[in-house]
Structure 1
Amino acid sequence: MDQTSPITADDLAAARKDFLAERANVVAKNAVSSSGLRAAARVPERVAANTTTFDVEVSQGERTDQERSGRCWMFASLNTMRYRVIKKYNLKTFELSQAYPLFWDKLEKSNWFFENVLDTLDEPLDGRLVSYLLTDPVGDGGQWDMFKALVKKYGVAPKEAMPETACSRNTHELDKYLTRYLRGAAKRLRESHAAGVGAADLSQMRKEMVGDVYHLLVTCLGEPPQSFSARVRDRDDKLALSGTFTPQEFFAEAVGMELDDYVSLISAPTADKPFGHVYTVDRLGNVVEAGGVRYLNLPPDELKRVAIAQLKDNLPVWFGCDVDQSYVRDEGIMDVAALDVDGLLGFDVEGCMDKAERLDYGESAMTHAMVLEGVNLDEKGAPTLWKVENSWGKDHGRNGFDTLSDPWFDEYVYQVVVDKRYLTDDERRTYETAEPTHLAPWDPMGSLARVR
């Protein structure tokens, strides 16, 4: 454009006249300014359609609470694992320590960050790549493949073996000071390289920096147990499990999940990601020796098919979504028809882009991980409504769980994790053998579940 277009007094007068000409605009103004946009846009009939009874349902224990942290992906992962413990030992409820993987994730992410810093020493500091790496080097967020890597290396522990601390319940201070340290460490590594320090000395600096991070984490979270005594009583108050375990031994004995059988499926309908192909995201991960992430991109109906199959086998399903879209949060309802924002405003806001366009233009990405634990099916076996286990405590939603309408699934669910036995032969072969297409670090499929 060759000329500027300032807003003129005539433009403002026309806009005001147009607004006041419609009675509905004035009513909307009064309602929204008094109660908020979402509250005024709430459609009670659609809210009422979200039932609390389900055709297929997995019975979990008491609801968990991530409190003021972005550990949703850890809670969702541990909730799929604790279900196996509850089922195996006939327990009323059970909870695995969420502080334990938090400790190791922060340590491993710090080492992953140093790895990337050393790999980009000659990249410009103000270039997109280094700027991206420095933006959020050790935030709370993550994805399933990253959690799998932590469990394979470090195992799991009962909550009593490593309980919550002030810094795990509210990770703001931990993240703030650890991030500052890591950025300072990146500065030292880059400046040392520019001054001619060799690779061996830089590697030694890195080891000392990892030691500093360990020191900070123990100070904030306590030292993770190398072994612990565990005693678990069943519904009849009989001792169902007793002994001393390392975290790896406890995972093998109590959880017994074949982690490598569980694969990550995404649904991203953008032009650069054809369905039926495998993808990875550059520089996304935590445990260096485990590598990064691996996805198979499929249409939403395929994600639903495998999720239903796993639920019917009485196993919950980890999934990632853009939780804040079309969400009646207090009531725990994810439904594209539950909020009529466009009808309230009189023009398209929520309806101005489709799913692919929202991804391409930065309007949507995976922000939160939860667990599917139920589904309603119509007479043809197609899903209509999903039951969701959240990690915001028992007072959220309806006794701690949410509901998710099937049209909402189409629009805002981006990832599910299922046993690969539910894939078709072609899908399984592609996932296991295809060379992945590499996505840029800032691709929306590289977003981390982190909503607090």
Structure 2
Amino acid sequence: MTMHAIDPAITRETSARIAQDRATVIARNAASSCGIRAAAHNPQAASLASTTFDVQLKQGDVTNQKRSGRCWMFASLNTMRYRIIKKLGIKTFELSQAYPLFWDKYERANWFFENIIATANQDLAGREVSFLLADPLSDGGQWDMFRSLVKKYGVCPKEAMLETANSSNTRDLDKYLTRYLRACAKKLREAVTAGQTTEELQATKNEMLSDVYRALVICLGEPPASFDVRIRDEKGELKASGTYTPQEFFREYVDMDLDSYISIINAPTPDKPYYRSYTVKYLGNVAEDGGVRYVNLPIESLKRVAVAQMHDGLPVWFGSDVDQGFDSERGLLDPASIDVDALFGLPIEAGLNKGDRLQYGESLMTHAMTLQGVSLDAAGEPTSWRIENSWGDDHGHDGYDIGSAAWFDEYVYQVVVDKKYLTPEELTAFESDPIELAPWDPMGSLA
């Protein structure tokens, strides 16, 4: 194919037009002075965002994932601590986020080693092996992966396993363990080539896992096998006490049927027909529990089940592309809040619809949060959403964001709800044999 250079006349003509275009000059002055988002800020959108909702659940103090990619864990634990707060009648409570981080890294190392062994005969430069090596220890995850961790390891109060410098900022932990895992991958591939038996490979892998466990203890501390519990309300009354294992604590105080909660996605692309079940190759953490499963449904179904669960007094885990249409200073998620199309006079946001954005690499799920409230119009349709984030209470509205109806439609990709809210047709679709998506499919993105 012949490459064509830029015609200098195009540049000259465009520059001349800009000098005569008052709107472009004003936009240039604004954007270059204060930045694109500030220049494109639409104050009317912010003024229309109400902070009161028809359904509004009460939660404890806002949590803070700090400099880590644990939003999926924070969102999951926030749905679980809500049950504890409600059960005990206390003002606030927090579950340890360092505890599942430890076990996820450990389990994910094993998941990685198993997949490296399984693909050892594939070309090292092949797309699948390259994918496995790219980010084997990501902080991000999916609801199904968190469910697997809790089923195996339970949960514990934050006091039982506190944050460390490395859980609050996971960059170096991930960096150095990833480097070690890649060295292990080389050793495992060479062992397969050398003809090691399955038993020998497992012995080699187990030595590596022992090293990973030790490294995690150095960085995060050792997870408690049991712990003492003393929980008091704001009046000082003792509401819970005793010694528990993490599994016992989950059963008694969270009391949640994990297998009843399923993932519903909205991916309006031709390759993913609605009312079908999907999984993603190589996506998971706990080897014996398998990977992930979604059912793809129209966005109206996601809204319906989310509202229904909140009407019944329970929050909703959800995944979205959080940076799109995000006025972070005001805690507003609304495509109208940052009008870049008006600023540039170009169809930047209008140029692709939701399905197009997925297919052309413009959007995917980047962040998990918790729906804690909703406002409804006369017909019962959502008009705005109350969103609990995990970025601390100095963000947004004391730690909460407001999502518009348009933002939910365009940038929410997943909700997790009790399957009892699905119609028989939707549930049958979820329970059907899943279609396996490629590892790099946008619906394999990690929150």
CA apart distance, 1:394: 0.3
Q: What does residue 68 of structure 2 align with?
A: 69
Measured in 1, the distance between the counterparts of 2:383 and 2:19 equals 40
What secondary structure, in the 3-state scheme, does the structure 2 residue paired with 1:351 have? coil
Q: What does residue 445 of structure 1 align with?
A: 443
- Percent identical: 60
Equivalences for residues 96-135 of structure 1 within 5 A: 96-135=95-134
For the 8 Å contact 1:332–1:396, the answer to whether it is kept is: yes
Q: What does residue 390 of structure 2 align with?
A: 391
Measured in 1, the distance between the counterparts of 2:195 and 2:287 equals 26
Q: What does residue 265 of structure 2 align with?
A: 266
Q: In structure 2, do the counterparts of structure 1 residues 68 and 279 end up closer, same or farther at CA, with 3 Å as the change threshold?
A: same
Q: What does residue 339 of structure 1 align with?
A: 338
For the 8 Å contact 1:90–1:235, the answer to whether it is kept is: no
Q: What does residue 219 of structure 1 align with?
A: 218
Measured in 1, the distance between the counterparts of 2:195 and 2:83 equals 54
Q: What is the CA deviation profile of residues 61-94 of structure 1, one whole-angstrom value per residue up to 9, with x for unaligned ones?
A: 0000000000000000000000000000000100
What secondary structure, in the 3-state scheme, does the structure 1 residue paired with 2:350 have? helix
What secondary structure, in the 3-state scheme, does the structure 2 residue paired with 1:373 have? strand
One-letter amino acid of the counterpart of residue 101, structure 1:
P
Q: What does residue 324 of structure 1 align with?
A: 323
Structure 1 stretches of 4+ moved >3 Å: none
Measured in 1, the distance between the counterparts of 2:189 and 2:2 equals 44
Q: What is the CA deviation profile of residues 244-270 of structure 1, one whole-angstrom value per residue up to 9, with x for unaligned ones?
A: 000000000110011011010000000
Point out where structure 1 has 5 or more consecutive residues left out of the alignment.
none
One-letter amino acid of the counterpart of residue 70, structure 2:
R
Q: What does residue 242 of structure 1 align with?
A: 241
CA apart distance, 1:14: 1.8
TM-score by length of 2: 0.99
CA apart distance, 1:8: 3.2
CA apart distance, 1:20: 2.1
Equivalences for residues 342-361 of structure 1 within 5 A: 342-361=341-360
Q: What is the CA deviation profile of residues 205-229 of structure 1, one whole-angstrom value per residue up to 9, with x for unaligned ones?
A: 1010011100100000000000000
What secondary structure, in the 3-state scheme, does the structure 2 residue paired with 1:140 have? coil
Point out where structure 2 has 5 or more consecutive residues left out of the alignment.
none
CA apart distance, 1:54: 0.5
For the 8 Å contact 1:277–1:436, the answer to whether it is kept is: yes
Q: What does residue 411 of structure 1 align with?
A: 410
CA apart distance, 1:236: 2.9
Equivalences for residues 232-311 of structure 1 within 5 A: 232-311=231-310
CA apart distance, 1:11: 2.4
Q: What does residue 203 of structure 1 align with?
A: 202
CA apart distance, 1:5: 1.2
What secondary structure, in the 3-state scheme, does the structure 2 residue paired with 1:350 have? coil
Measured in 2, the distance between the counterparts of 1:87 and 1:72 equals 22
Measured in 1, the distance between the counterparts of 2:279 and 2:207 equals 31
What secondary structure, in the 3-state scheme, does the structure 2 residue paired with 1:352 have? coil
Q: What is the CA deviation profile of residues 178-218 of structure 1, one whole-angstrom value per residue up to 9, with x for unaligned ones?
A: 10000110011112222333332221110100111001000
Measured in 2, the distance between the counterparts of 1:101 and 1:388 equals 23
CA apart distance, 1:17: 1.6
What secondary structure, in the 3-state scheme, does the structure 1 residue paired with 2:414 have? strand
One-letter amino acid of the counterpart of residue 248, structure 1:
Q
CA apart distance, 1:429: 2.5
Q: What does residue 436 of structure 1 align with?
A: 434
CA apart distance, 1:331: 1.4
Which deviates the most, 70-79 or 422-431?
422-431
Q: Root-mean-square deviation (CA), in Å?
A: 0.9
What secondary structure, in the 3-state scheme, does the structure 1 residue paired with 2:96 have? coil
CA apart distance, 1:16: 1.1
What secondary structure, in the 3-state scheme, does the structure 2 residue paired with 1:264 have? strand
For the 8 Å contact 1:332–1:401, the answer to whether it is kept is: yes
Residue 157, structure 1, aligned to residue 156, structure 2: yes
Q: How many residues align?
A: 447
Measured in 1, the distance between the counterparts of 2:20 and 2:214 equals 65
CA apart distance, 1:426: 1.8
Measured in 1, the distance between the counterparts of 2:147 and 2:20 equals 58
Q: What does residue 55 of structure 1 align with?
A: 54
CA apart distance, 1:18: 2.6
Measured in 2, the distance between the counterparts of 1:386 and 1:423 equals 21
One-letter amino acid of the counterpart of residue 111, structure 1:
N
CA apart distance, 1:237: 1.9
Measured in 1, the distance between the counterparts of 2:142 and 2:387 equals 18
What secondary structure, in the 3-state scheme, does the structure 2 residue paired with 1:138 have? coil
Q: What is the CA deviation profile of residues 353-382 of structure 1, one whole-angstrom value per residue up to 9, with x for unaligned ones?
A: 111111001111000000000000011111
One-letter amino acid of the counterpart of residue 129, structure 1:
E
CA apart distance, 1:388: 0.0
Q: What is the CA deviation profile of residues 408-429 of structure 1, one whole-angstrom value per residue up to 9, with x for unaligned ones?
A: 1110000000011111122122
Which deviates the most, 66-75 or 236-245?
236-245
TM-score by length of 1: 0.98
Q: What does residue 381 of structure 1 align with?
A: 380
Q: What does residue 314 of structure 2 align with?
A: 315
One-letter amino acid of the counterpart of residue 445, structure 1:
M
